[in-house]
A = this chain, B = another copy of it.
Amino acid sequence: MPELPIPSYDDILAASDRISGYAHITPVLTSRTINEFTGGEIYFKCENFQRAGAFKFRGACNSVFSLTDEEAAKGVATHSSGNHGQALALAARLRGIPAYIVMPENSPRVKVNAVKGYGAEVTFCESNQQARESTLHKIVEKSGATFIHPYDHFNVIAGQGTCALELLNQQQDLDAVFAPVGGGGLLSGTSITAKERPDAVMVFGAEPEKADDAYQSLKSGTLQRFDTTQTIADGLRTTLSERTFAIIQNYTDDIFTVGEQEIVDAMRLIWERMKIIIEPSCSVPVAALLNGRFDCSGKKIGVILTGGNVDLDHLPWQ
């Protein structure tokens, strides 16, 4: 198998330049309470305030604005039941090109409306991976649109790497950066940024115990693939790709896992004490820090809060 291209730190710098003016520079917040609870100084990079509500906009935006004019004219396409679909739809609108989003027919109405609200064309399919891929394939065949994979994509990974870049520029004395891991796009970009900078820092992933494919892959040294719908952290149900696994194996210091109740408790703590809305997926690294998976004492730690798109009618503690 040929080696898959992997973004360099320079590619991440270029991505940062490319998305500048489109993506928000999101704030970094702190909480006395959470510092007391963990014993460290925790710096939260608030991608829940990013456009379209999640860090996914960075990768989508970098991908859309990396296309040639000829490619761009035919549009972009993806399958997504989550934040990547909204992010790609918004990025396409900003470039003024078509976006084709394949969504499972049981997607929450609020997500479908958000994608449509950005002007994308939504095609529904059955709720399984095969239906998603075959539906997408037909659309790409017909339109000539470029498929932008949610995470197994050079420009998406480079775009996601801009988040840690921004964080490390905003708070220059961090000892480590934590990110959740689902398909591994964010953790890959974060890891490249963290390790390829002149002032390299430690980088850790956090994953639900019930979807611990990345943890198992890292420990066993071979890619473990098992999709699950069991964890409440719905953004982290996907598995690594060959490419994101290779990057994480090479660059990431370790991955920690946490239980479902720890995830819900950490999410609620952030809501109650920081007064910000984060998705369950965001709270996975927070849960790892709150529950002693990593000794924070005396350390300055960046945590990427990945998104804030939550169904307010169905909260996990209800």
Contact = CB atoms under 8 A, between A and B. Distances in A.
Interface of A: 27, 29, 48-49, 53, 268, 271-272, 274-278, 308, 312-313, 315, 317-318
Given A27-B27, A276-B277, A271 B53 contact: no
Contacts of A275: 48-49, 53, 276-278, 308
This protein's copies in its complex: 2
Given A48-B275, A271-B277, A275-B53, A315 B312 contact: yes
B308 A313 contact: no
A101 to B, nearest CB: 20
A48 B273 CA distance: 10
Contacts of A53: 275
Contacts of A48: 275
Nearest to A33: B117
Given A27-B27, A277-B277, A272 B312 contact: yes
A34 to B, nearest CB: 14
Contacts of A315: 312, 315
